[in-house]
Structure 1
């Protein structure tokens, strides 16, 4: 196993552990369901949202069959990403792929355990008396976004991109 692949596996494990630990703590220790929305800063709240869909709640009304299809699709995607990671030779790409894999597995665990993904982080801003909110998300979602950013960076500025005509 190459050094970059080991880094990708570590990134996946760290993303998965942090994601699941944060969700378990918020659900069973902090008891966010009972507390409701908790203001942490003027621009960040902890809220409980059960996402039965995929990104941004898309396909949230598909029922058990739709959930099973989404999980099967996610399993195939994780295998494809793992193969890509095993063949990758750059640190940014393998770490990025590891973060995406760890985040995808974390959200898949939620779907299997609860039938929905546990989302809890809400950023918002008040401008001219009107509140603008971002989507509620979790650490798995954040790991996926950072992983995609790492892949983009690697494809645009990595060693292979620099050599390309």
Structure 2
């Protein structure tokens, strides 16, 4: 003959086991929400500020030390040298004679980067856009504040390497940032930090 208390105990034990089961919806802890991707705007601003400071400092030093056209050989029997050139064109002396248009283009670049920066989550994009922004601002300062006047100011270039057109720190930053942007695009890294479909598939097959 079965004792009724044994049945009650078995029922209570079964209920207790069911309540403690990890798969139970009543007791399973809710999954924590995914952390939002970190904004990279401070990094972009920091890179841009460094580029502008370096560009302005080097231009001020060169203008104070050299006369227009004066050359100081540095390395490789003068293949690499310093020479003060007032450039009315774009980077590397391109588009000479279109100073006002180049100024407007630089302003458009700065505005465009500022708009994209709001949705930027990629560290690589932040560095690349910071380089481009800093370079654009560095040369834009010359366009506004150097002679012959606002929107027509000539950019100070001073680094001469062989047959390559004379350039400055801002030009170098723009080229480096542009090359990095191309690399990010080829690698499939989006501005929000995600990977494009093709790149993600390739990474999964590796």
Same fold by TM-score greater than 0.5 = yes
Alpha-carbon displacement from aligned partner over 1:7-48 (angstroms, at most 9, x marks no partner): 1111100000000000001112xx211781000111310011
Confirm or deny that 1:83 pairs with 2:121.
Answer: no
Q: Which has the higher strand share?
A: 1
Moved over 4 A (4+): none
Structural mapping, 1:93-108, within 5 Å: 93-108=125-140
Larger Rg, first or second structure (1 or 2): 2
Inter-partner Cα distance in structure 2 for 1:90 and 1:164: 19
Verify the 8 A CA contact 1:85 1:93 in the aligned structure 2. Answer: no
Instruction: Structure 1: give runs of 5+ residues left out of the alignment.
Output: 125-132
Moved more, 88-97 or 52-61: 52-61
Q: Is this contact kept in 1: 2:68–2:84, CA < 8 A?
A: no
Deviations 1:105-136 (A, max 9, x none): 00011111221000000112xxxxxxxx1110
How do residues 1-165 of structure 1 correspond to structure 2 at under 5 angstroms?
2-28=38-64, 31-33=65-67, 36-42=70-76, 43-62=79-98, 67-114=99-146, 115-124=153-162, 133-157=163-187, 158=189, 160-161=195-196, 162-163=199-200
2:93, 2:166 within 8 Å by CA — same for their partners in 1? no
CA distance in 2: counterparts of 1:11 and 1:78, whole angstroms: 14
Give 1:58 shift: 3.3
Looking at structure 1, the residues matched to 172 and 94 of structure 2 have their Cα atoms a distance apart, in angstroms, of 18
TM-score scaled to structure 1, two decimals?
A: 0.82
Q: How large is the RMSD of aligned CA atoms in angstroms?
A: 2.0
- Native 8 Å contact 1:51 1:116 kept in 2: yes
**Greater percentage in helix:** 1
> Please, which runs of 5 or more residues in structure 2 have no aligned partner?
1-37, 147-152
**TM-score normalised to structure 2 length:** 0.67
Quote how far apart the aligned CAs of 1:54 are. Answer: 1.5
CA distance in 1, matches of 2:67, 2:116: 39
**8 A Cα contact 2:87 2:157, kept in partner:** yes
